Amino acid sequence: MSTAAPPLVLHLVYRFDVGGLENGVVNLINHMPAGRFRHAVVALTDCSAGFCQRIARADVDFVSLHKPPGHGAKLYPRLYRLFREQRPAIVHTRNLAALEAVVPAWAAGVAARVHGEHGWDVSDPGGTRRKFQWLRRAYSPFVSRYVALSRHIESYLVDRVGIAPVRVERICNGVDSTRFRPAAGGVRGALGGMPATFAAPGVVVVGTVGRLQAVKDQVGLVRAFALARAGGEGGRSLRLVVAGDGPQRAELEAEIRSAGVEDAVWLAGERGDVPEVMRALDFFVLPSKAEGISNTILEAMASGLAVAATAVGGNPELVAAGETGLLVPATDARGMADALLCYASDAALRHRHGAAARRRVEAEFSIDGMVARYMRLYESLLRPPGVA
């Protein structure tokens, strides 16, 4: 007697490589019970072989379409054939760059088409550009249900794009609080490759993790860090770890040299040991110009770290200002420098905010809760009409 295979969810992204959005896909697939859904990942551009290895399940297919710059209409015939061959029960696109794929999914007869909005690019950090609002509105008839990762994005979809509230589900990211946990005994851990001077007595290590690109504004962080270093005794104790790689590395290196902080900044490159990176820090910083719901903030909070972050996108939904971290305006180098100095000079405050951050993650941002909400959404879309 044969048993029908579980429904297939086809996750369609612009690129499947290191990034918060992509890491959320990894977490969702790895933690969803195998008997409930099968999964495939399709990238309009490329699936990075190294990043694909983060998927623990052996039954997940990866497809790279190598899309050139510009509108993806030329890919529609190929996407149509792919959907007809794979026969997914659900196609789940993410962010504006992948939204256009809902059209060939609809044409191929995919009944459930979910679109997730994770945040904005630096070209539209507040979601204010009318062109992008219009594009989202134009594709909306082809979308079955929207997923907004923050209240900020939910309001954007409803109030600016004009999506009916009943079609929008808010599902925040979750974090694996077993993998991301505080350092043993609350003592900062060692990290391979870290300069020896970062382990000297009295040093306070702050770090950030993310792709080196304009929207993450690591260049602005270096400017703020240089101001903090010049801000007195507390500032001189600071060391900065920047984990990640990307197109702004050369500009970031130039800013470090210009600011004269080469001996106090370590560009750690792309890391496969992010939990260990977190446990090697005294506190975490995120200087982004725009964010959805930041995985790295959640990972830092789960690791028991106080967080200094910009008050953009979903960051204020994660960081309780004055309780688990500090919030400053985006691109405000002086404000960020003051936040760095505040934590550098007050270990008790760092520890208090870090412990509160861990408790907040355990109570509100568990990965099991996130997976359960996605499963409920998927299953509701597959029920026959009239079945509760």
Say how far apart CA 131 and CA 116 lie, in whole Å.
19
Token pair in block for residue 353: 């905010």
Say how far apart CA 128 and CA 278 lie, in whole Å.
34
Residue 9 backbone phi and psi in degrees, to 5: -105, 120
Say how far apart CA 25 and CA 136 lie, in whole Å.
22
Quick one: DSSP state of residue 283? E
Fold of 184-364: Rossmann fold (3.40.50)
Say how far apart CA 34 and CA 36 lie, in whole Å.
6
Using the predicted structure, report yes or no on whether residue 1 has a pLDDT greater than 60: no
CATH architecture of the domain 8-174+366-382 equals: 3-Layer(aba) Sandwich (3.40)
SS3 label, residue 163: coil
Taking residue 192's Cβ as centre, other Cβ atoms within 10 Å add up to 10
Using the predicted structure, report yes or no on whether residue 126 has a pLDDT greater than 90: no
pLDDT mean over 245-268: 97
- The residue among 307, 288, 298 whose CA lies nearest residue 353 is 307
Per-residue model confidence as pLDDT tens digits over 137-183: 999 999 999 999 989 899 999 999 999 999 999 999 899 999 999 99
Tell me, what's the pLDDT at 42? Answer: 98
pLDDT band at 124 (very low <50, low <70, confident <90, very high): confident
Tell me, what's the pLDDT at 3? Answer: 65
Per-residue model confidence as pLDDT tens digits over 330-378: 999 999 999 999 999 999 999 999 999 999 999 999 999 999 999 999 9
SS3 label, residue 386: coil
SS3 label, residue 319: coil
SS3 label, residue 239: strand
Burial profile 344-370: b = 16 or more Cβ within 10 angstroms, e = fewer: bbeeeebbebbbbbbebbeeebbbeeb
Token pair in block for residue 12: 């369609």
- When computed from its CA atoms, the radius of gyration of the chain, rounded to whole angstroms, is 21
Token pair in block for residue 142: 């082809």
Using the predicted structure, report yes or no on whether residue 12 has a pLDDT greater than 50: yes
Q: Do domains 8-174+366-382 and 184-364 have the same CATH topology?
A: yes
Residue spans per domain, the chain: 8-174+366-382, 184-364
Per-residue model confidence as pLDDT tens digits over 44-98: 999 999 999 999 999 999 999 999 887 778 899 999 999 999 999 999 999 999 9
Tell me, what's the pLDDT at 336? Answer: 98
**Mean pLDDT of all residues belonging to the chain:** 93
